[in-house]
Each structure stands twice: as C-alpha cells, then as structure tokens.
C-alpha cells in the first residue's frame, strides 16, 4: 500500500481549475519529485495534500486513511509536514521559537531534534535568538526546512527548498534531503531545479497546467526528450 | 504658581488605578486585533457584563460591609472569578456564533456584527438591571472607605490618600498583566497565538488549530475584561448598562495609541489615558478655573490625534517584536 495516494484529485481556486484530476502515489521511504513550469499546479498539489486548499473531488489517503475533509492542523498531526513555498517563517519570532513551533505537534521540544537541526544548519545555531524576519533569504530557507524537520515528519513535503540559495547551499540542501530520507523520512519534493530534483529523487511526475503528463523513474525522466527540452533547458 | 504636589499625587493614584482598568480592557482589543485584525466593538459591553454579573453575585450572597472581613474578601474573589468566566464565555460565544463564520468575509461584515453585539448586550443589561445607574451592595467596611494607608500604616502626615480600594486595583491588575505576559511569551499556547497572529496558514502547517487559538484569544480578552468589570464596579461604586461605552472607547484608544496588536503598547496607552483622564478631570481645574471634566474627551482624543500624526503605528507600533 502506498504511503500517500492521491486519486483523481480536482482542486479549484474559485472558478480556476488548478488541479485537473491528478493521481499520484508516494511509497514509504521514497523521494518523489513533482516538476513543472510556473503555474503548473505544483504548490497547489502540496497545499491540497496538507488540507489548506481542500480538493473539490477525488480522494487523498495516508497509509490507507482518508485525509479528505480533515483540517490542515490535523493532517500535520498525522506526520505530514510541509515546508511551504516562500519559506513562511514567523518573522517576529526568534529562530529558536520558530524551531519550537515546528515541534508544536510533538507537544515538547526534544533537545536531540534541535541539535540535529543545528548540526545540519550551524548558521541557525549562531542566529538562535535573532528574529526570523531579519535573517537573509537563504537563512530563512534553512529555517523553514529545519522547522519542518522539528516535527519529525513521516512524510515531508518540500516546496522549492533550493529557492534563493547559493549553488553551494543548493548542493548542501539536496544532500540533506538525501540524508533525512535515508534516516527514514519519505519526501515529496517540488522543484524548479528539475535536474537537481531528478538526481536526488527515485521517481518523478511532470505536471502541466494541472495535469500529470508524465510519470516515471527519475533515471528515465532525466533522459526523456520532452523533459530535457522543457525543464532541463536543452535544445 | 505653586505646584500642589499632594493634589497631584492624589490624582496620580486615581489615574494609575483607572489606567490599570483601561489597560486590562485594552489588552482584550489588542489581543483579538493582533490575531484576527478585527476591532471587537462589543468588548466594552463584555466588560460591562462582567461588572453586572459581579453585582448579581454579591447581591445574591447577601454579604455586606458589616460581615466578617474574610467573608467579604471571599465574596469579592468569587465575584471576580465569576465576572471573569462570564465575560470570557460571552466573548467566546460571540466569536463562535458570528465572527468565526465571517473570517473570510469582507472586513466590514464582522465589524458591523461587533457593533450589533454591543447594542444587544446593552439591551440585555438594561433588561437585567434597569436603565438607570445603580450602586452595588456595599462591600468595603466603612472604616476602610476613608482609611488612608499612608497615614494609618506608614504614619505619614500627608494629604495624599492611598485607599485600600486603590491597592486592591493594583494587587489584582498587576499580577494579571504579568501572568498574561508570561503566558504569551513562554507557554506553548501563547507561542501558538503569536505564530497565528503572524501567519495563519503557516501556523496550520505547524499543526496549530487556528480556530482554537483564535477562541483562546477571545477567552483571554474576556477574562481580563471581566476582571476589569468587577474592579470598576467597586472602584467607582456604580454600574449602568452604558458603562462599557466610555471605558471601551478609552481602552480602544489606548490600544491604538500604544500600537494596536502590541501588548506592552496597550498597557502603556492604558496608563497614559488613565493619567490624562485624572489630570483633566481634577488637577487642571486648580490652575484653569473654567476647566471642567467635560473637556476630558477632547483632551484625550486631541492627544490621540497628535500621536497618530507623528507615529501612525502607535507609540510602540510596527518595529517591536511583542505583538501577540
Ligand atoms: N490563491 C490563488 N487564487 C487563485 N488562483 C491561484 C491561487 N494560487 C494559485 N492559483 C493559480 O493556480 C495555478 C497553479 O498555481 P501553483 O501555485 O500551484 O503553481 P506552481 O506550479 O506552484 O508554480 P510556481 O512554480 O510558479 O510556484 C496557477 O494558474 C495560479 O495562477
Ligand atoms: Mg509553486
């Protein structure tokens, strides 16, 4: 049984039909990536899974249990944690408080979790008492990912984790994604940087104006002509 | 011109006591605004209902100022607690019944509802206790009504009067203010409230039940307003259905003056307005004979206008970190 299964999901923003009957599965232990150009519906897919933009029709199940109609906070409570697009850190709270909010679902902060996040992002430890709103964009991105990890996700939804990061940090973020995956976290990754995403993922889906147009292993997608032309910028 | 510092200190004490009451009410406006960006215009009436319930509780026990002191203190505390719970329940219910359904409606919709509730609560109060001012059953023993702590307890020869009721106001409000600060700053729920005030969607993604957190804000605002209601009842020795209007308006002004959404700002604004209120009602007359209490509103709002012009986001607005 798939860990996460979306079947025939249709999501609307008012009259805008953003997801047109998409079906996606993510198995336990996998890294699955969702690629597609701007406005394809990648973020909408993650918001729909998290319950912030509920689907109008279709079903979403986590380990066989229906998430349909569940409020967002309850879905997070089941271990589906999202690091949203645009970081969305709490600007007037300190770095440490932001990380504590990440552990909100666990009721208490485990010092070991905090140490682990600080190990992954030593910069956050240096800035622990600084207000998150005064961090640089890249630092905020680290905080957003660190905050999501504090909730000990079963399934981690990452929306463009490499956005705004320098090339060295992008490499670092992707090796961190691989690492936390090896430690047992399942990952659904949305990326503009399709090459990077496909190099770290096991499987991928290509989304185009709200529809899945391709689904394959990452290795196959990386050599697929259409993917190479449209998303990897090759002629 | 001679500065009558004893008179000044008397009005200062009165100003601080009224300021503490205004601060308690102002916190309710600011906490709710900080989290849902709604001016809860019914908040003054939530305060008034607290005073009315306290009145009813004291009257029902039949205990008066001639009973033993421990019974008086006991009924005072029970009425205080009752008023807090009652006001909290009203505030919570208004949110559940109306505001929650209007979260994604245009801003004006919940605002007009708030004004509606303000009138509804006033009407209920008039039905409950009649349309005229009423005095609560006397609770403070007659010895203590004129008792000056500074003379009797500290042996100071002075015209400055510090009455037990003044002290009671501070003994109740200051711990409440400290408790609130600690709650918002350090508890899990307090942090969830701050997070929700900053980004509701991100908070939901952290697993925070946003609706419950908003309810908590209304409950806390109600608890503080109820406490203020009970204290005001015995500080002023009078209650009426319209009492929420002036206190509510001043408290709302205090919240705006301090920087709406900001806790310390509301407290600062509350004390500031309490101070101006007392000075304008009493002190100024000493120097300007034609001055009268009817000028107070103009003075307070005049100062509000001046502060707004120079600091549109309030005294401690915008750049601080202590928003709810
Ligand atoms: N809040 C909203 N209201 C109305 N339409 C929206 C809203 N959010 C997204 N859309 C529309 O839904 C479609 C999918 O948007 P979505 O944000 O999911 O795209 P995306 O694949 O994440 O794009 P990007 O790579 O630019 O982040 C777009 O056409 C967008 O305009
Ligand atoms: Mg997006």
Q: For A104, which DSSP code?
A: G
**Could you tell me if residue A194 is inside a domain?**
yes
Distances in whole angstroms, Cα of residue A35 to Cα of each of A64, A201, B184, B287, B320: 25, 11, 41, 77, 40
Distances in whole angstroms, Cα of residue A90 to Cα of each of A100, B117, B197: 11, 33, 9
Contact B85, B225 (CB under 8 A): no
**How crowded is the C-beta side of B98, counted as CA atoms within 13 Å?**
19
Here the tokens at position A12 are: 């609307």
Give me the number of domains chain A comprises.
1
Residue B319's nearest CA partner among A25, A63, A91 is A91
Cα dihedral B304, B305, B306, B307 sign? positive
What is the number of the ligand closest to the CA of A13? Answer: 1
Domain residues for A227? 1-79+153-161+185-235
Measured at the CA of A185, the angle between CA A183 and CA A191, to 5 degrees, comes to 120
Ligand 1 nearest-atom number relative to CA A160: 27
Cα of B238 to ligand 1 centre, how many Å? 58
At A35 the pLDDT is: 94
At B282 the pLDDT is: 86
Q: Which residues on chain A are in Cβ contact (under 8 Å) with B209?
A: 71, 73
B207: left (phi over 0), alpha (psi -120 to 50) or beta: left
Helical segments of B237-310, H only: 243-258, 263-281, 296-310
CA atoms of B73 and B83, how far apart (whole Å)? 15
Residue A187's nearest CA partner among A42, A81, A48, A32 is A32
CA atoms of B100 and B78, how far apart (whole Å)? 31
At B318 the pLDDT is: 62
Counted residue by residue, chain A has a size of 235
Mean pLDDT over each residue of chain B, to the nearest integer: 93
On the 0-12 / 13-18 / 19+ scale of CB atoms within 10 A, A134 is middle
**Could you tell me if residue A235 is inside a domain?**
yes
Mind listing the pLDDT tens digit for each residue in B216-245? 999 999 999 999 999 999 999 999 999 999
**Could you tell me if residue A171 is inside a domain?**
no
CA atoms of B231 and B236, how far apart (whole Å)? 8
**Could you tell me if residue A68 is inside a domain?**
yes
Measured at the CA of B8, the angle between CA B2 and CA B9, to 5 degrees, comes to 135
At A235 the pLDDT is: 57
Residue A10 sits in a domain whose CATH number is 3.40.50.300
At B108 the pLDDT is: 93
Q: For A91, which DSSP code?
A: T
Contact A181, A31 (CB under 8 A): yes
Q: Which of A6, A14, A18, A205 to mutate to test the pocket of ligand 1 (most atoms within 8 A of CB)?
A: A18
Measured by CA distance, the residue closest to atom 29 of ligand 1 is A39
Lowest mean pLDDT among B37-51, B233-247, B279-293: B279-293
Number of H helices, E strands in chain B: 13, 0
- Is it the case that residue B7 has pLDDT exceeding 80? yes
Specify the residue for token string 């998409």: A22
Contact B298, B67 (CB under 8 A): no
Q: Which residues on chain A are in Cβ contact (under 8 Å) with B199?
A: 88, 90
**Could you tell me if residue A199 is inside a domain?**
yes
Q: Which of A34, A41, A162 to mutate to test the pocket of ligand 1 (most atoms within 8 A of CB)?
A: A41
Distance of CA A164 to the CA centre of its chain: 16
**Could you tell me if residue A132 is inside a domain?**
no
B205:A93 CB<8 A: no
Cβ neighbours for B179, distance < 8 A, ≥ 6 positions apart:
none
Residue of B nearest to A107 (CA): B188
Q: For B316, which DSSP code?
A: T
A183: Cβ below 6 Å to ligand 1?
Answer: no
Here the tokens at position A176 are: 């961190």
A38: Cβ below 6 Å to ligand 1?
Answer: yes
Return per-residue pLDDT of chain A as tens, 235 residues.
799 999 999 999 999 999 999 999 999 999 999 999 999 999 999 999 999 999 999 999 999 999 999 999 999 999 999 999 999 999 999 999 999 999 999 999 999 999 999 999 999 999 999 999 999 998 999 999 999 999 999 999 999 999 888 898 899 899 999 999 999 999 999 998 899 999 999 999 999 999 999 999 999 999 998 888 887 776 5
Measured by CA distance, the residue closest to atom 22 of ligand 1 is A43
- Is it the case that residue B323 has pLDDT exceeding 60? no
Residue of B nearest to A52 (CA): B201
**Could you tell me if residue A136 is inside a domain?**
no
Under DSSP, is residue A233 helix (H, G, I), strand (E, B) or coil? Answer: coil
Q: For A231, which DSSP code?
A: T
Cβ neighbours for A96, distance < 8 A, ≥ 6 positions apart:
A128, A129
Q: Tell me what ipTM this predicted complex has.
A: 0.95
**Could you tell me if residue A167 is inside a domain?**
no
The full 3-state SS of B52-97, as one line of letters, equals HHHHHHHHHHCCCCCCCHHHHHHHHHHHHHHHHHHHHHHHHHHHHH
B208:A107 CB<8 A: no
B205:A107 CB<8 A: no
Chain A contact for B200 (CB, 8 A cutoff): no
Mind listing the pLDDT tens digit for each residue in B241-269? 999 999 999 999 999 999 999 999 999 99
Cα of A41 to ligand 1 centre, how many Å? 6
């Amino acid at each position: 049984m798939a860990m996460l299964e979306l079947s025939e999901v249709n999501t609307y923003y008012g009259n805008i039909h953003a997801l047109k009957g998409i079906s996606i599965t993510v198995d336990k232990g996998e890294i699955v990536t969702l690629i597609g150009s701007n406005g394809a519906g990648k973020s909408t897919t993650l918001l729909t899974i998290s319950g912030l933009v509920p689907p109008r029709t279709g079903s979403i199940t986590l380990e066989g249990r229906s998430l349909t109609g569940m409020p967002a906070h309850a879905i997070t409570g089941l271990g589906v944690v999202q690091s949203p697009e645009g970081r969305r850190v709490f600007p007037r709270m300190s770095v440490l408080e932001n990380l504590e909010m990440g552990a909100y679902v666990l009721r208490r902060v485990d010092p070991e979790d905090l140490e682990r996040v600080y190990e992954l992002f030593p910069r956050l430890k240096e800035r622990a008492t600084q207000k998150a709103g005064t961090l640089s964009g890249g630092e905020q991105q680290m905080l957003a990912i660190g905050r999501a990890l504090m909730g000990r996700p079963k399934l981690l939804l990452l929306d463009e984790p490499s956005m705004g990061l320098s090339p060295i940090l992008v490499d670092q973020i992707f090796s961190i994604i691989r690492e936390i995956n090896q430690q047992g976290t399942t990952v659904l990754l949305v990326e503009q940087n399709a090459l990077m995403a496909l190099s770290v993922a096991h499987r991928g889906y290509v989304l185009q104006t709200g529809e899945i147009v391709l689904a394959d292993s990452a290795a196959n997608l990386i050599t697929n002509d259409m993917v190479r032309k449209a998303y990897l910028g090759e002629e | 011109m001679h500065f009558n510092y004893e008179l000044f200190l008397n009005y200062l004490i009165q100003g601080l006591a009224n300021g503490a009451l205004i601060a308690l009410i102002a916190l309710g406006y600011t906490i709710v605004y900080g989290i849902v960006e709604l001016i809860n215009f019914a908040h003054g009436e939530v305060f008034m209902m607290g005073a009315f319930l306290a009145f009813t509780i004291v009257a029902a026990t039949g205990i008066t100022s001639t009973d033993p002191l421990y019974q008086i203190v006991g009924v005072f505390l029970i009425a205080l607690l009752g008023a807090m719970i009652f006001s909290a329940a009203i505030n919570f219910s208004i949110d559940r019944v109306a505001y929650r359904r209007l979260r994604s409606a245009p801003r004006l919709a919940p605002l007009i509802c708030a004004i509606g509730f303000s009138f509804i609560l006033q009407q209920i109060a008039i039905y409950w206790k009649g349309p005229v001012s009423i005095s609560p059953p006397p609770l403070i023993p007659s010895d203590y009504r004129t008792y000056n702590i500074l003379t009797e307890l500290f042996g100071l020869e002075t015209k400055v009067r510090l009455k037990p009721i003044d002290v009671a106001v501070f003994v109740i409000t200051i711990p409440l203010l400290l408790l609130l600060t600690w709650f918002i700053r350090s508890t899990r729920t307090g942090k969830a409230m701050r997070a929700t005030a900053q980004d509701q969607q991100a908070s939901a993604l952290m697993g925070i039940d946003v609706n419950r957190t908003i309810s908590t804000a209304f409950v806390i605002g109600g608890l503080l307003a109820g406490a203020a209601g009970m204290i005001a009842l015995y500080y002023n020795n009078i209650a009426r259905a319209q009492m929420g209007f002036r206190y509510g308006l001043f408290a709302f002004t205090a919240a705006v003056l301090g920087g709406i959404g900001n806790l310390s700002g509301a407290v600062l604004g509350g004390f500031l307005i309490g101070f101006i209120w007392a000075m304008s009602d009493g002190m100024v007359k000493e120097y300007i004979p034609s001055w009268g209490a009817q000028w107070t509103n103009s003075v307070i709002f005049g100062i509000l206008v001046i502060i707004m012009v120079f600091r549109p986001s309030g005294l401690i607005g915008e750049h601080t970190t202590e928003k709810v």
